[in-house]
Structure 1
Amino acid sequence: MKSNNEYAKYANLSPFELKDNLIKLAQSHTDRVMLNAGRGNPNFLATWPRQAFFQLGVFALQESEMSFSYMNEGVGGMPIKVGLTGRFEHFVRQNYQTPGVSFLGKAFSYIRDQLGLDENAFLQEMVEGILGCNYPVPDRMLRFSEEVVKAYVLTQMGAQYLRRDDLDLFAVEGGTAAMAYIFNSMKENNLIQKGDKIAIGAPIFTPYLEIPELNDYQLVEVLVNSDPDANWQYPEAELRKLEDPTIKAFYLVNPSNPPSVKIDDKSLQIIADIVKKRPDLIILTDDVYGTFADNFQSLFAISPKNTILVYSFSKYFGATGWRLGVIATARDNIFDKKIKALPSKTRQILDKRYSSIVTDPENLKFIDRLVADSRAVALNHTAGLSTPQQVQMVLFALCEMMDTDQSYKAALKSLIRRRAASLYQHLGLAHHTDENSVDYYTLIDLEHICRELYDDKFAKWILKNKNPSEMLFRIADEAGVVLLPGKGFAVQHPSARASLANLNEYQYAAIGLSMRKLAQEYYAEYQGKAKKK
């Protein structure tokens, strides 16, 4: 094992880069299985919308082959529009017992009867989309795909009072692309500038801490710290930091990462009141875990004019490899107003930047600037998320909206909460949750463990004498368990983040036992030193 001094060189690494070093250590023993709880990639996934995707692909290929049926060389053509719906209905009737086909039939009924969309035009978009035979048009998001995902987003984000016409979506390559595009376009359009203050709800997904510090941005970070003793809610005094007029924006993840707790109603109301006082405040909320929460309501639902919403399909549907996400803005928003209120010289520079793609660049919406900036403006004509990806996104959204019993959601919530209970049971602690807990991750608090298992004196000794990084490396080396340091997420006390999404229940039991054994060894060391005094 390394000494504490040897661990110091890892202190500045992102948790996700440190993870790679921990994995190497955990894998260095060939006589055991590594338990990697360091990353949030779920080991569950939604099967029905995937079955539907592949069966839709079978139908689409048949349509393509029919267009060029006189050729024998494997050449297909564009699907024939005339009679497409009739042929699809025949395909569904003929193959109704095939997994995924009955779902497709019901989905197209839902499109027509519940969303009020033209099922013929929608089918054409889906068939061409899954074939990937056209550029994405519109480039921001396919027309009917956007309408379906809008309905899904409004429902999942607790914003049902808004109409689909009240917002715009930009389909992007997952939440990570959304973050990169938003930071870049905010800078390009002078919504944030070097030296500006931004508030960050902490703890938080590490890139939200790291990106503002890059030379590209050089922003001043003001942490808005949640309270672990109040189940990670933001104290009012912390939220009141947002009243500072020099703070340009507030970035947060809700439910939080890593505490996995949604903002409660009281805090949402405080933020809404602050926005009334500060109608210029920009809010960026990353709500990827909102789908796991009970009765979730996003800040986008509370203050839509001020909020940029990021949502990803990756975790809930087990689709990290698909790279599916959306950026949402209200059509009536402060971002467009702020851009129009920029100094004349700045607006002229921006008009020149976007003059090659529109004739009236001064009226180009912020979300359309995001699209253009995502392809360095000059490649705007080939912007957009690949059309097969958009089709899968639509099928995911339809699957959830059609699940009136919420059976899939209930199954996932039960799955991850049993894992949490198993980990803490074998660690020897009670796992406390409330109605705001999501449990996708858990923060294992070193001080709390030592105090609960033994006493306050031992907890203080641990904090004084042990480097948290040492414990992460020891548990990786001795037990093959990979956890991430809470410090990298701006957690204010020594802790480790464990994902509850990517291992099985018995493996979380093993992690709990491993951590308890480590605590026992430290306690024996503590007692031995106490006797020598």
Structure 2
Amino acid sequence: MTKPEKIDTKEAAKLAALSPFELKDELIKAAGGGAVQRAANFSMLNAGRGNPNFVATIPRHGFWQLGLFAMRESERSFAYMPEGVGGFPKHEGLGERFELFLRENKGVQGIDFLASAVSYVRDQLGLSAGDFLYEVCEGILASNYPVPDRMLKLSEIIVGQYLRREMIGKHPFIGEFDLFAVEGGTAAMTYIFNTMRENHLIKPGDTIALGMPIFTPYIEIPRLNDYQLNVVSLNADVESHWQYSKAELDKLRDPKIKAFFLVNPSNPPSVKMNDESLQQIADIVKDRPDLILLTDDVYGTFADDFVSLFALAPKNTILVYSYSKYFGATGWRLGAIATHRDNVLDRLIAELPDNAKKELHARYESITTEPDKLKFIDRLVADSRTVALNHTAGLSTPQQVQMVLFSLFSLMDTPDAYKNALKRLIRSRKRALYEEVGISFDEADKNQVDYYTILDLEFLGERAYGRDFVDWMMKNTEPSEMLFRLAREARVVLLPGRGFGTPHPSGRVSLANLNESDYRKIGRAIRTLLADYVERYNVATGKTLDKNKVL
């Protein structure tokens, strides 16, 4: 490693104010320039973003074949017109024509999957195969508005079954839940914060709690002028494998806290909350039935035996799920919001003072004759289109069709072959990274998910070299110096853990978006950088720490 460039104090302050996702762009710039000599074949390794480099191919093949069938159905309606005009599919005889299509295309990628999907919908879910085919054909053609606007009728049932399998599993669950199909998890966050504010569930000056570390927008949104919320942090402890202590979770007993927002498994540590903590929150809710919980469980499908907080405290919990990571579908923008049909949100709205009820009655009276009875999840739909455009609300129908096919793909994969393949893939990448950094690889923690890994420099540095070394390093380096050195000198881009609310300087490594050999290169670069700081420490203090010591 070369002698590090000092970061200007004013520049450091500006960088510290950036979201980690914006700082990433500065790190990418740093990785692409400078006068440092590099091997010609050592291109930039960007482990800073969680976009996976894998995709689920089988349900995509099914999507394109379904599209061809739907086009054939459309062209039947106006076959007498040669100008390229099609119509809506016809329900009558649709199943027979689909069977003919399958026979004609036997052996083509995606055909067997479609045949199995229709069989599963009919035989396992007990739904009408004809109704299902009509819904997905019309949906993939995008020939009609989303009706119902919250989610297509059979699509909601199928996606609901997928979420039951992946988020609830074998845990007892009483009652039903509603779904709102949205443009990914980020849209879900935007809509939920907005509708909670519009319906007086949160207001400026209110207090919410965040489970830290957490996806950065959950930290940034409450600070915005739109919300101006006070935040209580519940801090997971790196020394306890990123779990929350009982004392931290007991902060939720404070009646000032209106809502608790959680990403589970966590981002960036990528650890699922243990069973004891989930149960403690469920017990707290019994004492605090007014507490609103939001759990963002996008990484749950990478965990072993995952159970969502939604399963343990369904009436108080908003579930947010995105298809982006598990199916390699960030560009599709597919997500869902789930609420139990008997939930605290509707109850709290019903208990609002008369002046607030009158205001909300006026807000929603243009879309329903009984605005006071409008459920929270339907208010989400209306607010997502500023109420006045509620009649054109809803996720685009081709997106909903792809969401349904992803769900059916997972539901039919009873041995979890796809899931286990992804787990093997990302865990082999983590092993490669840790071996090169020199960190002992602990596979015993059943709560590790490994979509990301976080390298906590204070924790690892103290474990390997002692507290004096860590104190010296903290005093003599800027918080982002090591990340910029990795970018400039090794062309490696990581995200700062502090941007996600970690207490110590750290780097988030996505294990989803590069190949195993790349993670070995990243590990070697990190090891070289740490060795350089150990050498500098030895020179400055006269000590003789072993720079090759295992972390």
CA contact under 8 A between 2:316 and 2:345: conserved in structure 1? yes
Q: Residue 349 of structure 2 aligns to which amino acid in structure 1?
A: I
Deviation at 1:119, TM superposition (A): 1.1
1:21 is aligned, of 23, 26, 36, to: 26
Q: What residue identity is the alignment partner of 1:7?
A: A
Corresponding residue for residue 547 of structure 2: none
Match of 1:283 in 2: 293
1:425 corresponds to: 435
Measured after TM superposition, the shift of residue 528 of structure 1 is 1.3
Amino acid paired to 2:252: L
**1:527 positional shift:** 1.3
| Conservation of the 8 A alpha-carbon contact between 1:429 and 1:453 | no
Deviations 1:51-88 (A, max 9, x none): 00000000000111111111111111111221111000
Contact 2:321 2:336 (8 Å CA) reproduced: yes
Secondary structure of the 2:106 match is: coil
Per-residue displacement from partner, 1:444-500 (whole Å, max 9, x unpaired)?
Answer: 011233345544432332122222301110100000000111111110111111111
Structure 1 Cα separation of the partners of residues 172 and 246 of structure 2 = 28
Distance in 2 (alpha carbons) for counterparts of 1:376 and 1:146:
23
Residues of 2 paired with 1:339 and 1:102: CA distance?
Answer: 48
Q: Is the deviation greater in 455-464 or in 494-503?
A: 455-464
Q: Quote the offset at 1:142 in angstroms.
A: 0.1
Tell me the CA shift for residue 7 of structure 1: 2.5
- Mapped to 1, the partners of 2:106 and 2:344 lie a distance apart of 49
Which of 139, 146, 153 does residue 143 from structure 1 map onto?
153
Measured in 2, the distance between the counterparts of 1:222 and 1:207 equals 15
CA–CA distance in 2 between the matches of 1:76 and 1:217? 48
Classify 1:239/1:143 alpha carbon distance in 2 versus 1 (closer, same or farther; 3 Å).
same
Look up the match of 1:7: 12
Distance 1:161 1:515 in 2: 42
**Residue number in structure 2 paired with 1:188:** 198
- TM-score of the superposition, structure 1-length normalised? 0.98
Equivalent in the alignment of 1:517: 528
Contact 1:429 1:452 in 2 (8 A): no
Report how far residue 432 of structure 1 moved: 2.4
| Partner SS state of residue 39, structure 1 | coil
Q: Indicate the residue corresponding to 2:499 in structure 1.
A: 488
Which residue matches 1:116? Answer: 126
Q: Which of 258, 270, 273 is matched with 2:268 structurally?
A: 258
- 2:131 is paired with a residue whose SS is helix
1:445 aligns with 2:456: yes
Query: In the alignment, what sits opposite 2:164?
Result: 154
Matched, 1:346 2:356: yes
Identity over aligned pairs, percent: 62
Once the two structures are superposed, the pairs formed by residues 294-305 of structure 1 within 5 Å of their partners are 294-305=304-315
DSSP-derived class of the 1:53 partner: helix
Asked if structure 2 preserves the Cα contact closer than 8 Å seen for 1:150 and 1:164, the reply is no
Which range moves more in the overlay, 276-285 or 67-76?
67-76
TM-score, length of structure 2 as denominator length? 0.95
Deviations 1:306-360 (A, max 9, x none): 0000000000000000000000000010111110110111101101000000001
- Provide the alpha-carbon RMSD of the alignment: 1.5
Using the TM superposition, name which of 286-295 and 26-35 deviates more.
26-35
**Residue 503 (structure 1) aligns with:** 514
Q: Which runs of 5+ in 2 are unaligned?
A: 544-551
Aligned residue identity for 1:306: N
Equivalent position SS for 2:346: helix
SS of residue paired to 1:43: coil
**2:80 equivalent to 1:89:** no
Instruction: Please state how far the C-alpha of 1:529 moved relative to its aligned partner.
Output: 1.5
The within-5 A match list for 1:68-467 is 68-159=78-169, 166-433=176-443, 434-467=445-478
Aligned 8 A contact 2:145 2:392 in 1? yes
Contact 2:173 2:311 in 1 (8 A): no
Distance in structure 2 (CA, Å) of the matches to 1:402 and 1:210: 39
Contact 2:47 2:514 in 1 (8 A): yes
Report the alpha carbon displacement of residue 162 of structure 1 after superposing the two structures with TM. Answer: 6.6
Distance 2:541 2:173 in 1: 66
- SS of match in other structure, 1:157: helix
AA partner of residue 185 (structure 1): T
Distance in structure 2 (CA, Å) of the matches to 1:111 and 1:310: 24
Superposition pairs of residues 465-476 of structure 1, within 5 angstroms: 465-476=476-487
Size of the aligned set, in residue pairs, is: 533
